[in-house]
Amino acid sequence: MDPTTTEILVLGAGPGGYTAAFYAADKGKKVTLVEQNPRLGGVCMNVGCIPSKALLHATAILREGKESSHRGIDFGPARVEVEKLRNWKESIVEKLGQGIKSLAQHRQVEVVHGRGHFEDSRTLRVETTAGQKFIRYEKAIIAAGSKPAMPHAFDLGNKRVMTSTEALDLPDVPQDLLIVGGGYIGMELGTVYAALGSNVVVLEALPSILTGVDADLVRPVSRVAQKAFKEIRLNTKVLKMATAGKQIKVTTEVNKQQRDELYDRVLVSVGRVPNLADLGLENTKVTKDDKGFIQCNAQLQTEDPNIYAVGDATGGTLLAHRAFRQGKIAVETILGDASAFENVVIPAVVFTDPEVAWCGLTETEAEQKSIEVQVAKFPWGASGRALTFDRPDGLTKLVIEPETERILGVGIVGVGAGELIGEGVLAVEMGATVRDLADSVHPHPTLSETLMEAAESFYGTATHTLSRRSS
């Protein structure tokens, strides 16, 4: 069969892939986008960011309703229709998927559905429903993404042992739900299921949930989760899982003591692995690192001169907005522009209750790298707006280069932290100083004032706290 030809082939239609494909098409290239799933959008849109946020929003009202009674507004017990909730979530995903599809059509990006397999450095074979198709390209961008890791020992072939993908499909509301792994996925989905009524137990092997995040930003999340969840068990390992009738028997170990428990469902959220098996990378010069992710340079070039890679497949922090940027940089490099994924501030948001968000340098990282910094903090207990939300459990902090007073990083925990961090990103990217932030008037009463007041506290002049210059 004669191969079809294209200028740029993009493998995977998630955030990194569709961004690269659309951008290349906008720049006048002939683009072919290969996606194995019927719906475009990748993990983020189908089984990641979007559905999880839809469920978090929908269930937030259950939490807030309960909290409301002491303020004199009582809704009585809520009634949850799981199927309706699932359909609503599904409608959002479907709408966005259609949106991507139509954006591709308007740009004349050819979309091919099927599994891709590299035959050599210039040819991809696609297994479509209509048989094999060979595509010969000038440059390829691998945006194959990642999937939840499922350790072999937990893979019982039992539907009750879920990854985030199945959990987001909301099969039911289990009475007893065990979440293995207290990272952001486990904590976010735990928040959803706890609100829906499950008794959620989170097991974490390390001494803290949300490992890697600054301890003072994690604390408010821990406090809320400890109340909303049945239990958060740290320093705990799962030794074994076994099917026990309609339940799962889980053997855990804490302080060398073993314990057997029964759960209706188990969510395994212990990390993610790249989707690189069976891609035929061995037929190219593409190389992988010791964790199995594709190795590439700041221009997103792999060891194969014709192949680039973006997004989760390249490792690092697995975030959609990182893939968006990388997709553009890969295309710019192909077009010959001086472009590099260097010195880019990638913010992170954990959509727990309350949310945690940070960007740039964190205190933890500064400590690890022995970078001398000063930290200015503003506790939300002193924010009028936070009190009107009945949520004083927040903190805004700035990580500062002492000599220049340049803002190197921003960390926020509290309701709506995800929406607030954008200003932090701008400050860090612009090389703003603490003075810049302190002297920018912020609207009152809003949570955004906490950024300004944190800056003022650096100078010991925050209006609403008796702050000292903290370090």
Partner 1 sequence: MDVKLPQLAEGVESGTVVSILVAEGQEVKKDQPFMELETQKAVGSIPAPSAGVVTKVHVKQGMEVSVGQVLISIDAAPAASTGGATAPPRASKPAAQPATAQPQPSSSATTTSAGATDYRYESKSGVAPPAPPSIRKIAADLGIDLTRVKGSEAGGRINLGDLRDYVQRLQQIALQRAPGAEQPSGQAHQTPASSESVDFSKWGPVHREKMSPLRRTVSRRMVESWTTIPKINQFADADISNLLALRKKNAPGYEKQGVHLTLTAFLLVVLGRTLKKHPRANSSLDESTMEIVYKNYCHIGVAVDTEGGLIVPILRDVDRKNLAQLSQELHAITERTRQRKISIEELQGGTFTISNQGSIGGSHFTPIIYAPQVAILGVGQGQPKPVAIDGKIGVRTILPLCLAYDHRVLDGADAVRFLKDVISGLENFSEADLQLK
- Find the DSSP H helices in 184-316: 184-196, 215-228
Say whether residue 290 binds partner 1 (CB under 8 A): no
Say whether residue 408 binds partner 1 (CB under 8 A): yes
Q: Which long-range contacts (CB under 8 A, 24 or more apart) does 322-326 make?
A: 322/346, 323/14, 323/15, 323/16, 323/17, 323/19, 323/143, 324/15, 324/16, 324/19, 326/16, 326/300
Site for partner 1 in 100-129 (CB under 8 A): 121
**From candidates 2, 81, 282, 403, binder to partner 1 by CB under 8 A:** 403
Distance CA 221, CA 329 (A): 35
Q: What's CA 325's distance to the chain center, in Å?
A: 15
Q: Is 367 exposed, middle or buried (0-12, 13-18, 19+ CB in 10 A)?
A: exposed
**From candidates 285, 288, 442, 464, binder to partner 1 by CB under 8 A:** 285
Complete DSSP assignment for 392-411: ---EEEEEEETTTTEEEEEE
Say whether residue 19 binds partner 1 (CB under 8 A): no
Site for partner 1 in 147-206 (CB under 8 A): none
Say whether residue 294 binds partner 1 (CB under 8 A): no
Site for partner 1 in 416-435 (CB under 8 A): 429-433, 435
- Closer to partner 1 by Cβ: residue 359 or 361: 361
- Is 165 within 8 Å of 46 (Cβ atoms)? no
Say whether residue 301 binds partner 1 (CB under 8 A): yes
List of residues 6+ apart from 51 with CB closer than 8 A? 89, 92, 93, 168
- Find the DSSP H helices in 296-345: 320-334
Distance CA 362, CA 124 (A): 41
- Closer to partner 1 by Cβ: residue 44 or 300: 300
The least distance separating partner 1 from the CB of residue 239, rounded to whole angstroms, comes to 42
The least distance separating partner 1 from the CB of residue 356, rounded to whole angstroms, comes to 23
The least distance separating partner 1 from the CB of residue 145, rounded to whole angstroms, comes to 23
The least distance separating partner 1 from the CB of residue 312, rounded to whole angstroms, comes to 21
* Candidates 113, 117, 442, 444; catalytic one: 444
Q: Which stretch binds partner 1 (CB under 8 A): 170-178, 236-244, 385-393, 396-404?
A: 396-404
The least distance separating partner 1 from the CB of residue 129, rounded to whole angstroms, comes to 33
Distance CA 274, CA 388 (A): 44
The least distance separating partner 1 from the CB of residue 160, rounded to whole angstroms, comes to 45
List of residues 6+ apart from 297 with CB closer than 8 A? none
Number of residues that bind partner 1 (CB under 8 A): 37
**From candidates 298, 367, 368, 461, binder to partner 1 by CB under 8 A:** 298
327-349 burial, b for 16+ CB within 10 Å, e for fewer? bbbbbbbbeeeebebeeebebbb
Site string for partner 1, 336-375 (x = CB under 8 A): xxxxx-xx-----------------x----x--x-xxx--
Place of tokens 């790249």: 274
Among residues 147, 353, 148, 174, the alpha carbon closest in space to that of 266 is found at: 174
**From candidates 235, 297, 368, 463, binder to partner 1 by CB under 8 A:** 297
Indicate if 152 belongs to the active site.
no
- Is 9 within 8 Å of 135 (Cβ atoms)? yes
Q: Which stretch binds partner 1 (CB under 8 A): 57-65, 76-84, 274-282, 398-406?
A: 398-406
- Closer to partner 1 by Cβ: residue 171 or 305: 305
The least distance separating partner 1 from the CB of residue 234, rounded to whole angstroms, comes to 32
- Closer to partner 1 by Cβ: residue 214 or 353: 214
**From candidates 27, 406, 442, 464, binder to partner 1 by CB under 8 A:** 406
Distance CA 206, CA 3 (A): 51
Q: Which stretch binds partner 1 (CB under 8 A): 41-49, 249-257, 381-389, 399-407?
A: 399-407
> 288: which strand partners?
294
- Is 351 within 8 Å of 423 (Cβ atoms)? no
The least distance separating partner 1 from the CB of residue 317, rounded to whole angstroms, comes to 18
Q: Is 28 exposed, middle or buried (0-12, 13-18, 19+ CB in 10 A)?
A: exposed
Helix axes 320-334, 15-26, angle to 10 degrees: 30
User: Footprint of partner 1 on this chain (CB under 8 A)?
Assistant: 121, 285, 295, 297-299, 301-305, 336-340, 342-343, 361, 366, 369, 371-373, 401, 403-406, 408, 429-433, 435-436
Q: Which residues are catalytic?
A: 444
